[in-house]
Structure 1
Amino acid sequence: MNEDKPYVELLLSSPNPHSSFLSLSQTIWHQQDVTTCAKKNALQKVVAAYEEICQNMHR
């Protein structure tokens, strides 16, 4: 897995990156043992990965 972009590779390895993005985002948001700051950072990375995937799909 690419250590620089693990979320990109994770989403691309899914048969449906769109639903995986939603599921992963929801899973991060509902974690009980994680600080709000950590959730925000993880969600920002997931959103950035999803945006990169969407941009590449339209090229």
Structure 2
Amino acid sequence: MAVPKKRTSPSRKGMRRSHDHVAVPNVVYCECGEPTLPHRVCAVCGSYKGRQVVSSEEA
């Protein structure tokens, strides 16, 4: 069975795990001031690209 000959240093371990982080989501602020995800309808006011898409009762 294959066994490592030397101990993996913290630096090398960190370099290997550098792509395992959780990506921070982009935040776009709606006209109403609420943070939303890009290319999504605002959950608070129901607008998208400056026009009303969903009525305020549904949102």
Query: After TM superposition, is the score higher than 0.5?
Result: no
**Shorter-normalised TM-score: what interval?**
under 0.3
Which TM-score applies when normalising by structure 1? Answer: 0.23
Greater Cα radius of gyration, structure 1 or 2? 2
Which TM-score applies when normalising by structure 2? Answer: 0.23
**Greater RCO, CA 8 A, separation 6+:** 1
